[in-house]
Structure 1
Amino acid sequence: MILNKKYFSIYFSLFFITQMFSQETKDTSQDSLKVETLNEVFISATRTLRQLSSLPLPAQIVSKKDIERSNSIRLNDILNEQTGLITVPDFGGGEGIQLQGLDAQYTLILIDGVPLIGRSAGTLDLSRISVGNIKQIEIVKGASSSLYGNEALGGVINIITEKPRTGFNGSINNRFGSFNTNDLSTSINYKKNKLGISAFINRYSSGGYDLIENDNLNTVDPFHNYTFNTKFTYDFSDAINMFVSGRYYTQNQDVIATETLRGKSTIKEWNTHLQLNQTYSEKWNGYLEFYASRYKANEYLNENDGSRFSNSFFNQLMLRPEYRIAYNINENNGFIAGIGITHESLNRTDFTEAPIFNSPYAYLQYDTNLTKQLNLLLGARFDNHNKYKSQFSPKGAIRYVFNEKLAFKGSIGYGFKAPDFRQLYFDFTNATVGYTVLGYNAVPAAITALEAQGQIANIIVPISEFNNQINPENSTSINIGVDYKISASITSNINMFRNNIDNLIDTRIIANKTNGQNVFSYYNINEVYTQGLEFNTHWKPSNLLKVSAGYQLLYAKDIEAEKAFKNGEVFARDSPTSPAFQLNKSDYFGLYNRSRHMANIKLFYTIPKWNLESNIRTTYRSKYGLFDTNGNGYLDDYDDFVSGYTIVDLAFNKTFYKNYKLGLGIDNLLNFTDTQNISNIAGRIIYGKLNIQF
């Protein structure tokens, strides 16, 4: 079991610091743990109902109203506009989210509190999520493994979808625009007495787009997908209620890999979620939950003559039962505890076996208002696993209210990311180039087989180094912030963060092949870190105008690389023919695909006389590097960078006869594209949108 003493010393120091502020008090004016009818209620950060403004953690909500006013149709569009978040494409074309400078694989994505699966390359493609039935999006920054376990090393994004509400109503929504994109959805809702039912159907299609002319290939090939989502609620009594949901997603896409290779790609995903809630007494509540999900992807490529060139498949299954219980000692003190087990299996192309992961877990959290001013949150979780070392994940957070305008909050937590199936069992050889990638557990048998075939020229890393277990990546996350209410119409907050990641899993060359190529595998390396600050401000002088702005400053670096630069071990050239010169510590830029600066400004304005809502939303990303272009193995100031860019979106929505809304807008008004480095920005998109309520 990994249990570093330094985490305990910091963790419990946080508890003792709070005691200096604590006083004997029974004041109940502080936000109660039992409050259920609050504005901006937040669930993900504590798994209890909490007011966003009272949380001791860095968190934010994207409301349904803001989603609707932006006219966005996919989840990645919405997240790109939030402070400190940026979607980045992987080599497979999917878009994952980067949060506080941490890769997409370190952020847990939930729908209604349960995880999405299907990380074929460590990235969960967010563009497959429709926003048509989203009630709100909850974003928790910082390690959250104390409640959610694996993959929550960097944070959690929870997509809360609409539940059945009283009455009968529905809507039809259609948006069409550039690149032959069309998004059509409908929702129906019914609830009377004890029974509630809702359904959501979405069809999204695109003709694809091409950023590079004259190459006879598309940047994104044409596709269409469908999402079906149903929910069922039933109140057996005032004390017992049930919630059941089902979601099905399917996508088909034409694939043109080269001028001679064509094929198809299909994705099929389903999940079902059952929850039975029971109130035992005024203080005790129990929740029995079962979740199941399967994600299947298949792709084939054929030659021009119809012969099969390649075929790949991906079939992942997750099952997770969980029981949790909440106990409110009084209005200012409460516990939540849970136990469960996660079962995962994966059958995939180029795997040495069809692995099965089993991981039982248990967690406990204590939430208390020690005084009128001071809220304390302490939690921990234990995860056992059949394939890697057990993990203990503590977390602590405090919020101290100085007065009605100023509040301090700070948190420290431990997060972990287990080695995924690919990093353990991959056995892939590129048929065209000839290199090989092996999962850690696959190395001994695969290298022995390659040696027997005469394909190994030289072994660089002894096979004996792969007889142990590869360690999970883990992080200590620290966030310190201040909330300041400047006036009734202006609020702001600043959050400073630091994420120290140990045992980062990276690739290295373990052998040379006789064809001149290499064999790669995975291993743990030393610490990297991301640190910086985030600033947000909101100004709402009236119900007609709302302005918000956000900024992130980020430094993301490898500590070993910093040492190499500091010791004068790194050199660069201005050109291939110029002499090499020594670099110093200030020349080290940091990790790849990270921008030093990101910012956003949003302005929403309503004209009641015309029943018109309008908004302009601007995001900025400063330069970043994708490759080492001067050959020294690091990203430094003398490498080539992707230039910074600005995206401007406009949206207008006019309501007719109460139930009809017409929307018009332009995404990427400035028509920014980067044909060489950025594949997920298509160019200017002009669209129209019609919404009908009934």
Structure 2
Amino acid sequence: MKRVLVLSILFNLIPFIEIYSQGKTKPNPKSPVSTETNNKEEPIKVETPDENKTPEKLPEEDRFKDLDNQNGIVVTGSRGERRLKDSTVATEVISRKRIEQTGARNLGEVLETQLGLNVTPNALGGSQVQMLGLDSKYVLFLVDGQRIAGRLNNTVDLTRFKVQNIERIEIVKGSSSALYGADAIGGVINIITRQSEKPEHYQFRATYGNGRELNYGTQGEKNMIADVGFRNEFVAASFNGGYNQSAGYDLDPTTKSTTGNAFQDSNLGGNMTFNPDGQLKVKTGLFYLSRFQQGIISQKSGGLFDRSNATNDFLGLGAIEYSYGKRNMISFRGNYARWENKYKLDQRASDELDTKELTNDKTSQGTIQLDHELNERHMLTMGIESYANELESDRLTQRFAYRTRRAVFLQDEWTAWKNGIIWRIIPGIRHDVDSQFGGQTTPKIATRVDLTSQLVIRASYGFGFRPPTFQELYLRFENPGVGYVVDGNSKLRPEKSRTVNADVEYSPLKNLSFSFSIFRNVITDLIQYNYGTTSSEFASFQLTNIKEAYTRGAELGMRTRAFKYVAYELGLNYTDTRDLTSDRPLEGRARHQVTTNVFINAPMGWELAIRTKWIGKRPFYSSTSDFAGSSTTLIEGQNSNVTYGKEFALINLRLEKKFFEGRMSLFFGVDNLLDKYELTYNPIRPRFYYGGVQAQF
């Protein structure tokens, strides 16, 4: 496998040799000869043909102009619209074009080969993400900048978010609590929904896939999506829907239990933006998902259980924005989210251990925000925010729980120097008042230095916090089939963090860029499961605060378009973690990770995407995934012996052929080409083939 890794890195270094051997240079914008088009109208000159004159070449089409979104707008890092290349906070953007070329069906599949992220299956279905060595519970998920509801076992299921509704994904790594408050210790993933950019557009896609009958059966997986929209000078609207069905998968056919849940879901969504005068905007959005998952589990007691989850997921968004001046805006935003999950465990041939559980999570949020340019050197962002969360659950010692949070925040983008070198300093602070845990203040200081147009340096230092969830405070869960009991702890304290980030971006040539970043997160009062006592029947585990833990590491990235039809990306990631109480690495984190992405947009409408990820071995201290999302997971008994999950390489391929000027296409893909998985520590889907058709007008 190490040979495969070395060959992969060497393969991706070929573009460097090609670039420098050809002696390509980047155009000098200060040169008297400019390649930019003059916008002023010039008189039409009629020239007589000159047979000796070399005809002018038309500018070549940029086949990857929509892949990186370098000239696009981002909002996550500053809570306001900024051009990506001017963003004071390092923001990674996954564009709509990139999403389509990956062939992904949901957010989890989009993020699979993203540098610095690790997507793993969730024990209760779906997938979850780790960022900078931190679990999903430390990552704040937003839709159009607003919070969502619904965490199961402290994780957000990435498969809830279907790609037909996603315009782009913005990722900010590192603490963002100074702007967003709780839960943003590890970073923010903001899903920006689709907006119509054409007078009319229609899109349809149908996909069918399957793998070995031994793992998948004969039913296969079916996906159908549709998207329509329109835009005029007053209003833009986009509406979408989809239906997905799969029989799931089984990594161990010798048992009756299954690995990946069978599921079927349907989703509807849409948004509208009214802009009558160019200054006032009114935005609305509604999104709904209905899903049913089912699987079979066997427990140590020998019992066989049919497991099912019926989920309803609703999110309603609204915003009023008024722009004045060049960059000023006042906005009013609000949302209501409800996530309902009905869990059922039905023991075969007996009713003794049957379980029915309801989880009903409701959240609402309102924000008033002002973005105001004091002068050319100071851009202020300030606002007030209100948040409420209500949870009804059969797993809580008290069935209902409710909390509110009020907050004020302020940030100043100060251009301290603008003479050749551009130096920006961005101080920010937020104060939250939680109805259960009182006041929490989270300051942050960041800076950006543009040494040249090709070399940018950023650094930041910030604080964050995460209050215990209702499940962590009031959980009471018994699993008699396996033989353990888990209790929450009403005396838990909020987790707090200190985060340092620094990064460098260097673009020596037009189509070549490098990035290097380092990070360190220190978390105090870390919440984890600790072994308690053993009675005659069950082992007991309770959530508690431990002293401290840290994650630290570095990321190196490279992007190039050395050839006309080929774009390369290479990423290297190193992550070191440690629980300072037990003096051992945090569970499930790999020290080393390598990602490569190759996109080929060839003539005649052919497109090929090759996405790869290599992950090194990971330490584990348990043989169960029931506690996915915890910091160090369940230790069975008092045995702290470490087991390492095997290193593995993931390769996904997708080939597409476009017809009728790109309005229709056929595609074929293979996920997990090398068929790598591990039943206990890496239960990802085995090799999977799919194909389909797409049409858009």
TM-score, with normalisation over the residues of structure 1? 0.83
Write out aligned runs for 1:108-127 (5 A). Answer: 108-127=140-159
Q: Please give the alpha-carbon distance, in whole angstroms, between the structure 1 residues aligned to 2:548 and 2:417.
A: 38
Asked if 1:489 corresponds to 2:511, the answer is: yes
1:607 to 599, 602, 620: 602
Write out aligned runs for 1:166-205 (5 A). Answer: 166-178=198-210, 179=216, 180-205=220-245
Which residue is equivalent to 1:165? 197
Where does structure 1 lack aligned partners over 5 or more consecutive residues?
Answer: 1-36, 442-468, 563-587
Asked if 1:359 corresponds to 2:390, the answer is: no
Residues 430 and 133 of structure 1: CA distance in aligned 2, closer, same or farther (over 3 Å) = closer
Q: State the AA in 2 paired with 1:245.
A: G
Q: Please give the alpha-carbon distance, in whole angstroms, between the structure 2 residues aligned to 1:425 and 1:175.
A: 43
Write out aligned runs for 1:242-281 (5 A). Answer: 242-258=282-298, 260-281=304-325
Asked if 1:523 corresponds to 2:567, the answer is: no
Which residue is equivalent to 1:554? 575
SS at match of 2:358: strand
Residues 229 and 298 of structure 1: CA distance in aligned 2, closer, same or farther (over 3 Å) = same
SS at match of 1:669: coil
Which residue is equivalent to 1:301? 345
Asked if 1:617 corresponds to 2:639, the answer is: no
Contact 1:510 1:521 (C-alpha < 8 Å) held by counterparts = yes
1:650 to 629, 650, 653: 653
Q: Please give the alpha-carbon distance, in whole angstroms, between the structure 2 residues aligned to 1:52 and 1:284.
A: 18
SS at match of 2:438: coil
Which residue is equivalent to 1:670? 674
2:559 to 538, 542, 554: 538
Which residue is equivalent to 1:285? 329
Q: State the AA in 1 paired with 2:501.
A: N
Residues 383 and 213 of structure 1: CA distance in aligned 2, closer, same or farther (over 3 Å) = same
- 1:94 CA drift (Å): 3.5
SS at match of 2:618: coil
Asked if 1:349 corresponds to 2:394, the answer is: yes
Q: Please give the alpha-carbon distance, in whole angstroms, between the structure 1 residues aligned to 2:294 and 2:342.
A: 12
Residues 167 and 393 of structure 1: CA distance in aligned 2, closer, same or farther (over 3 Å) = same
- 1:306 CA drift (Å): 7.8
Q: Please give the alpha-carbon distance, in whole angstroms, between the structure 2 residues aligned to 1:433 and 1:189.
A: 51
- 1:470 CA drift (Å): 2.3
- 1:557 CA drift (Å): 0.6
- 1:521 CA drift (Å): 2.2
Residues 533 and 69 of structure 1: CA distance in aligned 2, closer, same or farther (over 3 Å) = same
Which residue is equivalent to 2:448? 399
Contact 1:592 1:627 (C-alpha < 8 Å) held by counterparts = yes
Contact 1:358 1:385 (C-alpha < 8 Å) held by counterparts = yes
Asked if 1:415 corresponds to 2:447, the answer is: no
% identity of equivalent residues: 25
Bigger Cα displacement from structure 2, 431-440 vs 356-365: 431-440
Q: Please give the alpha-carbon distance, in whole angstroms, between the structure 2 residues aligned to 1:518 and 1:98.
A: 28
Q: Please give the alpha-carbon distance, in whole angstroms, between the structure 2 residues aligned to 1:61 and 1:124.
A: 20
Post-superposition CA distance 1:389-431 (Å, at most 9, x none): 3211111111112223322211111111110011111122333
Q: Please give the alpha-carbon distance, in whole angstroms, between the structure 2 residues aligned to 1:635 and 1:517.
A: 19
Q: Please give the alpha-carbon distance, in whole angstroms, between the structure 2 residues aligned to 1:687 and 1:118.
A: 30
Contact 1:616 1:650 (C-alpha < 8 Å) held by counterparts = yes
SS at match of 1:503: strand
Contact 1:326 1:336 (C-alpha < 8 Å) held by counterparts = yes
Post-superposition CA distance 1:322-377 (Å, at most 9, x none): 11111111333211111121111000012122110111111111112222210111
- 1:635 CA drift (Å): 7.0
Bigger Cα displacement from structure 2, 599-608 vs 256-265: 256-265
- 1:507 CA drift (Å): 2.3
For the aligned residues, what is the CA RMSD?
2.1
Write out aligned runs for 1:498-517 (5 A). Answer: 498-513=520-535, 515-517=536-538
Q: Please give the alpha-carbon distance, in whole angstroms, between the structure 1 residues aligned to 2:362 and 2:79.
A: 25
Where does structure 2 lack aligned partners over 5 or more consecutive residues?
Answer: 1-68, 211-215, 624-634
SS at match of 1:266: strand
- 1:104 CA drift (Å): 0.9
- 1:279 CA drift (Å): 2.4
Q: Please give the alpha-carbon distance, in whole angstroms, between the structure 2 residues aligned to 1:674 and 1:648.
A: 16
Asked if 1:430 corresponds to 2:479, the answer is: yes
- 1:616 CA drift (Å): 1.3
Which residue is equivalent to 2:587? 592
SS at match of 1:560: coil
Asked if 1:474 corresponds to 2:457, the answer is: no
Which residue is equivalent to 1:13? none
SS at match of 1:83: coil
Which residue is equivalent to 1:332? 377
- 1:142 CA drift (Å): 0.4
Post-superposition CA distance 1:27-86 (Å, at most 9, x none): xxxxxxxxxx97132210111222323334332111111111111111111111111100
- 1:656 CA drift (Å): 0.7
SS at match of 2:619: coil
Q: State the AA in 2 paired with 1:206.
A: S
Post-superposition CA distance 1:509-535 (Å, at most 9, x none): 45553x253433222111110011001
Contact 1:561 1:634 (C-alpha < 8 Å) held by counterparts = no
Q: Please give the alpha-carbon distance, in whole angstroms, between the structure 1 residues aligned to 2:149 and 2:488.
A: 20
Give the length in aligned residue pairs. 600
Q: Please give the alpha-carbon distance, in whole angstroms, between the structure 1 residues aligned to 2:537 and 2:256.
A: 31
- 1:433 CA drift (Å): 4.8
Q: State the AA in 1 paired with 2:682.
A: I
TM-score, with normalisation over the residues of structure 2? 0.83
Post-superposition CA distance 1:159-217 (Å, at most 9, x none): 11111334111100112111411211000001223122210101111111110021022
Q: Please give the alpha-carbon distance, in whole angstroms, between the structure 2 residues aligned to 1:232 and 1:254.
A: 35
Q: Please give the alpha-carbon distance, in whole angstroms, between the structure 2 residues aligned to 1:494 and 1:500.
A: 21
Residues 433 and 650 of structure 1: CA distance in aligned 2, closer, same or farther (over 3 Å) = closer
SS at match of 1:132: helix
Post-superposition CA distance 1:13-39 (Å, at most 9, x none): xxxxxxxxxxxxxxxxxxxxxxxx971
Q: Please give the alpha-carbon distance, in whole angstroms, between the structure 2 residues aligned to 1:344 and 1:632.
A: 35
Q: State the AA in 1 paired with 2:190.
A: N
Which residue is equivalent to 2:14? none
Q: Please give the alpha-carbon distance, in whole angstroms, between the structure 1 residues aligned to 2:534 and 2:349.
A: 35
Q: Please give the alpha-carbon distance, in whole angstroms, between the structure 2 residues aligned to 1:422 and 1:631.
A: 21
Which residue is equivalent to 1:97? 129
- 1:591 CA drift (Å): 1.3
2:432 to 383, 392, 409: 383
- 1:290 CA drift (Å): 1.2
SS at match of 1:672: coil
Contact 1:58 1:495 (C-alpha < 8 Å) held by counterparts = no
Contact 1:164 1:231 (C-alpha < 8 Å) held by counterparts = no
Residues 671 and 282 of structure 1: CA distance in aligned 2, closer, same or farther (over 3 Å) = closer
